[in-house]
Structure 1
Amino acid sequence: MSNKLMIAAAGSGKTTLIVNKALAQCSGNVLITTYTQANAEEIIKKIVLFNRAFPPYITVQPWFSFLLQHGVKPYQGSLFNGKIRGLLLVNEQSGYTITDKGKVYFSESGQFSRHYFTGSQKIFSDKLSKFVVRTNEKSNGAVINRLKRIYTHIFVDEVQDLAGYDLEVLKLLFSTDAEILLVGDPRQVTYLTHHEKLHSGYKNGAIKKFISDKKLDCLIDETTLQKSHRNNQIICNFSSRLFPNLPASMPCQDTACRAEPPGHSGIFLVRATDVIAYSKIYVPTVLRYNNANEQEFNFGMSKGLGFDRVLIYPTAAIVKFLKDGRLTKTVKGKEQPAFNLAKFYVALTRARFSVAIVCDFKNEAYLPEITKWNVISSEQMTLFS
């Protein structure tokens, strides 16, 4: 069988490709796993849309659910005799106590339980894949042998989000007889599953380098999924500014994809006082860096989704970029990203037709793709300086 890594641009149809490949399997069982719950739900919806029913031979699971069900529970007794009472999601390195010298982390060898678990026996999310690898070692490969018996095809969407011991799990998957398909966009590393030092050189979407360096049996395809079926030319141009070292994304030329609505396409600035009026006219989906309400999405949680129009609440650093176009800043003599490029890229590329960014602009200049939206006169004046 042919294992493959496919490098994708935003809106290039990677989820559609995965769904079609899964539905096309005539025998065996297919696992589709992806990092976010939102993307897993989107995959399920698309399967039902294409097939009118959900086939019994396809399983769709978020990455952590997959690791818990197939990596932890079947053979956890080979590593840990206690009862695991669920998962605790963390966004920093877990398993520590605070002393007068700061954080002191519990070691795996000396304080096993406190290294992996909370006091209520929930496993830390950043230790989950490490626990799976250790369980497979202690059980003499039973974890992976069980997967071999269950799945003939394993498809991993949003593979760029995997890091540390997740990559060790991928290596184990390649040792099975299953056909492995990995799909991801290195520009969309909005989440890291954990912050383990292992494989730290591959944590920013460098999955291609990992596959090459480890000489895994996997073809690398960088051409099939490079044109966006979602974003128009202006959105492609503007979002490509964020990653100048990667090929610029381009809109596909399929007439069905390029059916633009009249009168309002592109990148717009909207004053905070005009948001209600703008939203009544164009009904955009609201995206926030964080603290989204039930009708909105945080930048990261919107990954994998597509909308006709979005309205973005930017950070101060993003607003600065809209003016000067600078992607880096100097901190203590070192260059680092001026803001979270990946999250802003994801937010921009959710839109098919228009992106509105909430910004109380005056007469200052902004990047040339940007248009100022004025509710009073309904005039938009494109700036070229």
Structure 2
Amino acid sequence: MANEVIIAAAGGGKTTRLAERARAHGLGKVAIVTYTTNNVQEIRNKLFTLNPALPAHAEIWSWYRFLLHEMARPYQRSVLDRRIDGLHWVEGRSAPYVPRSKTLPFFLSGGGQIYSDKIARFIVECNQVTGGQVIARLEERFHTIFVDEIQDMAGYDLDLLELILQSNINLVMVGDHRQATFSTNNAAKNRAYAGANIIAKFREWEKAGLVAISYAQETHRCHQLIADLADSFFPTDAKTISKNAVITGHDGVFLVSAQTVPSYVELYRPQVLRLDRRTPCGDHTALNFGESKGMTFDRVLIYPHGKGRQWLTSGKYDHVKDSAAKMYVGISRARHSVAFVFDGQCKVQGLVRHS
């Protein structure tokens, strides 16, 4: 098995495919690593669905727990003169005014916990100081590492993944840069590859002969017209092919006037979505696009934000370039229909006025 990056379209059964490959793996110990604890549970559920007995050769880890226990702690004394007591989660950037020369406060909080945005950098430095022993130990532990939601990786995470790519471990990374709505950290390192731009790093790795990129272009969730609209935010990417052949009588992408929203909601019972809480949605219970990631609904009703309305009016995608990943996620939650609450003239192709 060679190193791989698999770009999987929304609704393509990415997690199921990963679980199947991990369960069928017969060459040695495997680690399945994903960003959040929710995703860890989802993978456990998929493995359990395939077989109630979880495979003995597979270990399931959240990203930070994996970094702490498998890579940071074993060689922590090569850089620090004390034990790391745990992980200190940081939303932004930790200890911004502490120079690297002050090792202890640079990496650790006052409670002795390592900052989440610096743990990958710490591991890279440990590996350098020990002459590669961090990666050598990992090679002894695992034959293959599967990384789910690869689009969430950022900062020194990418440098660390590159070290693994250069090792004897088989690294299989699965995700979709178009759904890069979260990030493992906000470190300055590798900012050029943040969010959806992580695809550029994948292509660099491929050019260097470190990985092979493949595309899982089929979706079992979205109607083709929904997939087409979601794809339109990333026009240079491979097009998604829908395997959803169900006909309900209200299928595709629509515009709904504000006045008819109550009757539309009563008739179709869509899930209401929005970019974030700053977008008013009347009395409806709404989810933010990012919150809806990983979810599936028969129908979705979207209240567009300001720049989303500009996009609908003009048909120009420059208005939503900064929210393209979140728009992609929101639209691709739906099986049968997506509707936008919008009263004006619309120049986005494919949207039909519902009456």
CA displacement 1:303-332 (0-9 Å, x = unmatched): 344333334444221222122222225xxx
Distance of 1:146 and 1:273 partners within structure 2: 63
- Give the drift of 1:154: 0.6
CA displacement 1:207-261 (0-9 Å, x = unmatched): 3223135x24322324xx1122221111011112211222332213xxxx4224x
Structure 2 residue 207 is matched with structure 1 residue 218:
no
Amino acid at match of 1:39: N
Q: In structure 2, do the counterparts of structure 1 residues 147 and 280 end up closer, same or farther at CA, with 3 Å as the change threshold?
A: farther
CA displacement 1:147-188 (0-9 Å, x = unmatched): 222211111122222223111211222243332212222222
- Aligned partner of 2:281 in structure 1 is none
- Aligned partner of 1:349 in structure 2 is 332
Structure 1 residues 1-385: aligned runs within 5 Å: 1-96=1-96, 105-109=97-101, 111-203=102-194, 204-205=197-198, 206-213=200-207, 215-222=208-215, 225-252=216-243, 257-260=244-247, 262-270=248-256, 278-279=264-265, 281-290=267-276, 297-328=287-318, 338-357=321-340, 359=341, 361-365=342-346, 367-372=348-353, 380-381=354-355
Distance of 2:158 and 2:227 partners within structure 1: 30
Question: Aligned pair count?
Answer: 346
Contact 1:157 1:183 in 2 (8 A): yes
Contact 2:76 2:83 in 1 (8 A): no
Q: In structure 2, do the counterparts of structure 1 residues 135 and 18 end up closer, same or farther at CA, with 3 Å as the change threshold?
A: same
Contact 1:129 1:169 in 2 (8 A): yes
Amino acid at match of 1:90: V
- Aligned partner of 1:101 in structure 2 is none
Distance of 1:296 and 1:62 partners within structure 2: 28
Amino acid at match of 1:117: L
Distance of 1:88 and 1:119 partners within structure 2: 10
Distance of 2:346 and 2:303 partners within structure 1: 19
CA displacement 1:90-132 (0-9 Å, x = unmatched): 3433322xxxxxxxx32212x3233223333333222121112
Q: What SS class does the counterpart of residue 135 from structure 2 fall into?
A: helix
Task: Return 5+ residue gaps in structure 2 as ranges.
Answer: 279-284
Amino acid at match of 2:99: S
Q: In structure 2, do the counterparts of structure 1 residues 61 and 356 end up closer, same or farther at CA, with 3 Å as the change threshold?
A: farther
Q: In structure 2, do the counterparts of structure 1 residues 44 and 283 end up closer, same or farther at CA, with 3 Å as the change threshold?
A: farther
Contact 2:11 2:222 in 1 (8 A): yes
Contact 2:206 2:212 in 1 (8 A): no
Q: In structure 2, do the counterparts of structure 1 residues 112 and 216 end up closer, same or farther at CA, with 3 Å as the change threshold?
A: farther
Distance of 1:239 and 1:55 partners within structure 2: 36
Distance of 1:157 and 1:145 partners within structure 2: 23
Q: In structure 2, do the counterparts of structure 1 residues 363 and 194 end up closer, same or farther at CA, with 3 Å as the change threshold?
A: closer
Q: In structure 2, do the counterparts of structure 1 residues 56 and 246 end up closer, same or farther at CA, with 3 Å as the change threshold?
A: same
Distance of 1:316 and 1:365 partners within structure 2: 14
Amino acid at match of 2:326: K
Contact 1:326 1:338 in 2 (8 A): no
Distance of 2:133 and 2:177 partners within structure 1: 32
Distance of 2:266 and 2:20 partners within structure 1: 37
Q: What SS class does the counterpart of residue 178 from structure 2 fall into?
A: coil
Distance of 1:82 and 1:286 partners within structure 2: 50
Amino acid at match of 2:76: Q
Distance of 2:287 and 2:252 partners within structure 1: 21
- Give the drift of 1:33: 1.4
Q: In structure 2, do the counterparts of structure 1 residues 27 and 212 end up closer, same or farther at CA, with 3 Å as the change threshold?
A: closer
- Give the drift of 1:283: 4.1
Q: In structure 2, do the counterparts of structure 1 residues 163 and 363 end up closer, same or farther at CA, with 3 Å as the change threshold?
A: closer
Distance of 1:71 and 1:298 partners within structure 2: 35
- Give the drift of 1:338: 4.4
- Give the drift of 1:83: 4.5
Contact 1:310 1:355 in 2 (8 A): yes
- TM-score normalized with structure 2 length: 0.85
Q: What SS class does the counterpart of residue 54 from structure 2 fall into?
A: coil
Q: What SS class does the counterpart of residue 339 from structure 1 fall into?
A: helix
Q: In structure 2, do the counterparts of structure 1 residues 84 and 6 end up closer, same or farther at CA, with 3 Å as the change threshold?
A: same
Amino acid at match of 1:259: V
Greater CA deviation, 191-200 or 46-55? 191-200
Q: In structure 2, do the counterparts of structure 1 residues 86 and 275 end up closer, same or farther at CA, with 3 Å as the change threshold?
A: farther
Q: In structure 2, do the counterparts of structure 1 residues 40 and 258 end up closer, same or farther at CA, with 3 Å as the change threshold?
A: farther
Distance of 1:276 and 1:43 partners within structure 2: 38
Distance of 1:19 and 1:319 partners within structure 2: 40
Contact 1:47 1:54 in 2 (8 A): yes
Identity of aligned residues (%): 37
Distance of 2:43 and 2:295 partners within structure 1: 10
Task: Return 5+ residue gaps in structure 1 as ranges.
Answer: 97-104, 330-336, 373-379
